[in-house]
Structure formats: C-alpha cells, structure tokens
Copies of this chain bind each other. A is one copy, B any other.
Amino acid sequence: MSLMWSVKVVGLGVVALSLSLELLGWVFGRCRRRRTVNRVLFFPSKVACVEHFSCFCPLPHGEETSFSCLLRHILSASSSLDLCVFSFSNMDLSRAVLLLHSKGVTIRVLSDKHYSAITGSQIGVLRKAGVCVRCDAGSVYMHHKFAVVDGRQLITGSLNWTLTAVQSNMENIIITEEAELVQPFIKEFNQIWALNDPAQ
C-alpha cells in the first residue's frame, strides 16, 4: 500500500471516529433528557420530625421517610400547585401549602364538599389564609387524591391528606413526570375547577 493511500485511510478513519463520537454524544444526550421522574412511595410512613431547624421534640430528626419525600416534592413547587383531594386534615401538609402560598406560588385547591366541613379539615384554614379553594358538590364523592406541581409533576395515589393515611394506613403515592400521565390530570383538574366556579 502506498504512503498516500495509508494517509487517506487514516484520515478517513479519524473523521469517521469523530463523527461516531459526536453521534454517540447526541444519543446519550437524548437519553439523559428523556430521563423523567418516576417513583413510588408507600405508607404508613415512619414517624419522624419534618422540622429542619430549632426543634427539640423527641422524634427522630433528619430521616428520609415516605412522608418527608412527599413533602419535599410538594415544597419543590416554584410557580404553581394544583391540589385535588377528597380529605385534607394533615396539618404538616397544610403548613406546606401555606408556606408555598406565602412565597407567591399560585395555589388552587379542590376538595369534596362533604369532607371539607368535617372537624379538623384544613380547607377552611386555607381559605381564610387567602388560598383559592373550590369544593365539589356535584358527585357522590370527589374522591381524587392528586396534586400537580408546576404543571409538570403529578403526585397521585390512594393517600388522602390526613394523619391516619400518612401514619397508620397502607397507602401508595406515585410521583411521575410522564407527560402521558400528567397531562390528563391537568385537563381533569381544569374541568372540575371550571365546573365549580362560584361565579357560574
């Protein structure tokens, strides 16, 4: 093989190698972008304190539990939180919603009319604090228990936002960013929200 022929083959090989590396980078980049959150939490959650500072209660501190993970995902909201929940009496979750509200996150809460009036319900507390709340009276039960964070992340499952559900029952929560799962819930929320517009 002549010297010039060898040079051509080596040159073309280098070009092919660099193109392959670029292609591989693009494929891996796409795979990484496609990586969406998909996780499952089970309850009852281990009981632990969810305060981060200045707490001297006897509960364990700084532990990662199903409940602390749920709280973290809710508190990650930076622009909006749409919450559609049958029963809402858990005070830690209520404080989380109020904290987001105080930070300017747009909150919309839908609940069941019958359950929003029971003792311990946080629906009245939220309404008094200025959170937009609507209650559904059209169906036997508005039995959903889901939240959409920033129009992107769906939190849904069997878990009502109560202390019993978190600490005593066997329950599940799915946290997902799969658009095929998130988008129908956003549509459903907007429909129920519009249906229960008090101006109508």
**A interface vs B, CB < 8 Å?**
8, 12, 16, 23, 27, 38-40, 42, 44, 86, 136, 139-146, 156-159, 164-165, 168-172, 174, 176, 178, 180-181, 184-185, 188, 192
Q: Which residues of B contact A184 (CB under 8 A)?
A: 40, 42
Q: Are B181 and A38 interface neighbours, CB within 8 A?
A: yes
- Write the nearest CB–CB distance from A82 to chain B, whole angstroms: 14
A169 vs B112: C-alpha distance when bound (angstroms):
10
Interface centre among A23, A86, A141, A158 (most CB of B within 10 A): A158
Q: Are A144 and B172 interface neighbours, CB within 8 A?
A: yes
Known: A178-B178, A184-B42. A156 touches B172 (CB 8 A): yes
- Write the nearest CB–CB distance from A138 to chain B, whole angstroms: 8
10 smallest beta-carbon distances between A and B, as pairs: A140-B168, A40-B184, A38-B180, A143-B169, A141-B169, A142-B170, A139-B170, A143-B171, A143-B158, A140-B169
Q: Which residues of B contact A86 (CB under 8 A)?
A: 158
Q: Are A44 and B172 interface neighbours, CB within 8 A?
A: no
Q: Are B40 and A181 interface neighbours, CB within 8 A?
A: yes
Q: List 12 additional contacts besides A27-B27, A141-B169; criterion CB under 8 Å.
A: A8-B8, A139-B169, A142-B169, A143-B169, A144-B158, A144-B171, A156-B157, A156-B158, A157-B158, A158-B158, A172-B185, A176-B178
